[in-house]
Amino acid sequence: MLVDEQASSASLKDQLKQRDQSLRKVEQEMDSLSFRNQQLAKRVELLQEELAASEAKGKKGKQGLQTQSVFDEDLQKKIQENERLHIQFYEADEQHRRQEAQLKARLDELEKDSEQHQAVVDGLTTKYMETIERLQSDKARLEVKAQTLEREAKECRMRTEEWYVLLFYSLRMAESTSMVAECIKVICRVAALNVPPHNRRHQLKARDVAGQAVGFVQDLVAALLNFHSYTEQRVHIYPLDSSIEPVSPLNQKFSQYLHENAAYVRPLEDSLQQLHQSITEDTVTVLETVGKLRNFAENFSSYTHFLQKILPYQLKSLEEECETPLCTTALAVKNQELQSDMKRVTSMFEKLQNYINLLALPSVQQDAMPQSSTSAVFTQLAACLHSLHDAIKEMSKHYNQKATLEQELPTVTQKLRTTTECLLGSLGSLTNSTGKIATFFSNNLDFFTSSTGYGPRGGTVALNPLQAESMLANKKKAAAYIHAIRKPRPQSVPYREALSNRRILTSSTESREGLTQQVQQSQEKIARLEQEKEHWLLEAQLGKVRLEKENQRIADLEAQLAAALGGSPTAHTALKIFSSQSMGVLLFSLVESREQLIKTHYMARVGELTTQLQISDSKAVHFHSECRALAKRLAIAEKSRETLSEEVKLANQNITRLQDELATTKRSYEDQLSMMSDHLCSMNETLSKQREEIDTLKLGSKVQL
């Protein structure tokens, strides 16, 4: 379509040029005819003048008549020719005007057609330029996509080759693994007859860990004893005071069971102490050889059964508290929360019992638990200890809230307040001890789950007690042999002894961390004892000052009494009686005041420690919530950072694509501008040539004139 329009436009331009040329020819003919007409008009005027002159001279003779006839004929011919020329000029002028009008109309039509064609050409040019630009952008995008697909295809080919290589090597690895497994079975059967080595470093670490565990369990036992004892005292005081009226049969039975708590709690400390004593440098400490662990598991099971036995009574006792007339709604809600907390604590102890029984099972039956499951049991045990700590912490918090609500009741006695404060203190100690045990177990989880190093050389079978006995016997024989070969050369250190000393030094260095922890604990105990010592020194000074005041007061009273009685025998007797009575009264009041001061001091100290504990718990909860919030904010920030990085990548890709499109558009516009400039140059040259031709024609016409 565009080519046809361009061809028609070119043909119209050629026709326009031809019309212009014909118009110029007609104009030239018109100019020449007008010039000839002017000449003829001048000629006619001259002839008329000559005719007038000849008529004036007509009377001069016959010769003049002949000449006049010749002139008349010539004039007649000129007149006829002039008429003919006038007619031709008029006809040519009319024809020229008609042709000019036709050419002007034709020119107007052609100009309109040219304008229409030019508008169509411009619209098509714009349309086709947009199409060309879109096609160029599509081409660039498709080229980029093709390059991306080629790159992805290349990566896929490389990945396929890598997968083929990996598949080949995995098949080779599977074959090698099967062959190695068959060889290992044979080697294990042969290596089971080897004598296992003795790991002294493991023994030292195990004894150190057991010693730390004994200390933590002692604190736990003390906290449990205090908790059960103060719970028993509270049952006798609230909701009914046993000194005023008898308590309910349920609480009596509950108190009776709580009174037996020491029989279940004390064996935990004793059995763990026996376990610690059984772990020495000359023994083998693995789950299969530690028989004392079974005793600890049995004692722990008995304590768990004790908790299960008293749990219904605890729940019913709390229900009785809720049924009292003075129990508020908030207090009833706290009692319900305590019921759920006690159930949770008991369930945690049951889980601990199951895990401890699993760990104690290999010492009774060797193949009862595979070695691969040991690490999982220790991990679950650590998680269960943390859950127990959380449950006891939650129960302590609810007890504190309940105690705060009970203080607002009008019937609360001083005895109940004291017992509640002691109960809260025991709960705080229980929370601290369980937290320490959970932290200790988590810190030493790698030691519990790591391989002990005991077992036949080259074998994968677990160590049994018979192998442990033979190993210890061989160790004693080796020690005796080493001791025997050292005797002849006491002046120097043998090489083997130096290596043994180096190993001992290395193991001692490794146990330094445990000793450091023990030293820190000892320093804490010393600091606490120093504080107690200062407290009692202050109490002694206060008592001494009070004693001096009372002695001074007694002396003043005796002096006043002696002065009043005047020194008579009866007065002396009365003075002695009075002094003895006053001394008894003063001693009794001194004892009562001292007990009251001690009680006040301890109550203030307990209240201060309880406040500090509550503040510490609230701070810990606050810090924990802040840490969780910061962790969430960090995760959200990481996600937003990843999203923003992806957006930046997309923006960079868009910028690159737009830059490419801009460069392509710029090049196309530059090409178009260069083409337009060339076209304008050619048009200017054509116009200059036409002007020169017009000027030449004008000069030629002027020269002809």
pLDDT band at 235 (very low <50, low <70, confident <90, very high): confident
Percentage of the chain beyond pLDDT 70 is: 76
Residue 371 pLDDT = 65
Kindly report which listed range (23-37, 55-69, 203-217, 576-590) carries the lowest average pLDDT score.
576-590
pLDDT of 508 over the 60 cut: no
Asked which of 250-254, 446-450, 498-502 is least confident by mean pLDDT, the reply is 498-502
Read off the pLDDT band of 172 (50, 70, 90).
confident
- In this predicted structure, the answer to whether residue 697 has a pLDDT above a threshold of 70 is yes
Give the span between the Cα atoms of 514 and 520, in whole angstroms.
Answer: 10
- In this structure, are residues 99 and 29 in contact, taking their beta carbons and an 8 Å threshold? no
Are the CB atoms for 216 and 440 separated by under 8 Å?
yes
SS3 per-residue string spanning 562-600: HHHHCCCHHHHHHHHHHHHHHHHHHHHHHHHHHHHHHHH
95 pLDDT higher than 50: yes
DSSP secondary structure code for residue 244 in this structure: T
Cβ-defined contacts of 180-184 (< 8 Å, 24+): 184/460
Q: How confident is the model at residue 370 (pLDDT cuts 50, 70, 90)?
A: low
Find the helix or strand (DSSP H, E) in which 682 lies. helix 569-704
Mean pLDDT of 652-676: 83
Tokens standing for residue 33 = 């005819």
Read off the pLDDT band of 680 (50, 70, 90).
confident
The reported pLDDT for the residue numbered 458 is: 40
29-38, 425-434, 685-694: which has the minimum mean pLDDT?
29-38
How does residue 456 score in pLDDT terms, banded at 50, 70 and 90?
Answer: very low
Q: Looking at residues 324-352, what average pLDDT do you find?
A: 85
**Does residue 325 have a cis bond before it (omega within 30 degrees)?**
no
Flag whether pLDDT at 400 surpasses 50: yes
Peptide bond into 490 cis (omega under 30): no
Q: Which of 5-9, 43-47, 325-329, 430-434 has the lowest mean pLDDT?
A: 5-9
Residue 462, classified by CB atoms within 10 Å of its CB into exposed (0-12), middle (13-18) or buried (19+), is: buried
Per the model's pLDDT, the better-predicted residue between 590 and 56 turns out to be 56
Question: What is the rounded average pLDDT for all residues in the chain?
Answer: 76
Sign for the pseudo-dihedral over CA of 70, 71, 75, 78 = positive
Rounded to a whole number of angstroms, the distance between the first and last alpha carbons of the chain is 51
Rounded-to-integer distance, Cα 529 and Cα 623, Å: 31
Expressed in percent and rounded to 5, the helix, strand and coil fractions of the chain are: 90, 0, 10
Contacts with 166 (C-beta within 8 Å, 6 or more apart), sequence order: none
- For residue 693, give both structure tokens: 């031709």
CB 184 within 8 A of CB 262: no
What's 701's DSSP letter? H
What pLDDT is attached to residue 575?
47
Arithmetic mean of pLDDT, 26-54: 74
The Cα–Cα gap between 19 and 10 comes to 14
pLDDT over 50 (residue 222): yes
Tell me the C-alpha distance between 434 and 317, whole Å.
25
| CB-count exposure of residue 242 (10 Å: 0-12, 13-18, 19+) | middle
Angle between helices 512-565 and 569-704 (to 10 degrees): 140
Residue 492 per-residue DSSP state:
S
Task: Tell me what pLDDT residue 457 has.
Answer: 44
The predicted model scores a pTM of 0.43
pLDDT at residue 181 in the model:
76
Answer yes or no: is pLDDT of 705 > 70: no
Q: How far apart are CA 74 and CA 60, in angstroms?
A: 21
How high is the pLDDT of residue 246?
65
pLDDT at 576 over 60: no
pLDDT in tens, 509-544: 555 666 667 767 777 888 788 778 777 877 777 778
pLDDT of residue 459: 42
As given in the structure block, the two tokens for residue 509 are 């260095």
Q: How far apart are CA 627 and CA 619, in angstroms?
A: 12
Instruction: Determine the 3-state secondary structure of 49 from DSSP.
Output: helix
List, for residues 577-586, the tens digit of each pLDDT value.
445 555 554 5
Query: Would you tell me how many other CB atoms lie within 10 Å of the CB of residue 47?
Result: 17
**For residue range 253-305, what is the model confidence (pLDDT) as tens digits?**
888 888 888 888 888 888 888 877 777 766 666 666 677 778 888 888 888 89
> What are the tokens at 589?
């009041």
* Contact predicate 306/261, CB 8 Å: yes
In 298-405, the DSSP E strands lie at: none
Q: Is the pLDDT of residue 331 over 50?
A: yes
Residue 66 exposure: Cα atoms within 13 Å on the Cβ side: 3
Average pLDDT of span 466-480: 63
Cα(340)–Cα(343) distance, integer angstroms: 5
- Candidates 251, 618, 605, 222; CA nearest to 400 is 618
If you average pLDDT over residues 65-72, what whole number do you get?
Answer: 64
Name the residue among 431, 385, 438, 420 with its Cα closest to residue 620.
Answer: 431
pLDDT band at 635 (very low <50, low <70, confident <90, very high): confident
pLDDT at residue 594, rounded to an integer = 66
| pLDDT value at residue 588 | 54
Spell out the domain ranges in the chain: 2-150, 200-448, 465-509
Q: What is the mean pLDDT of residues 61-88?
A: 69
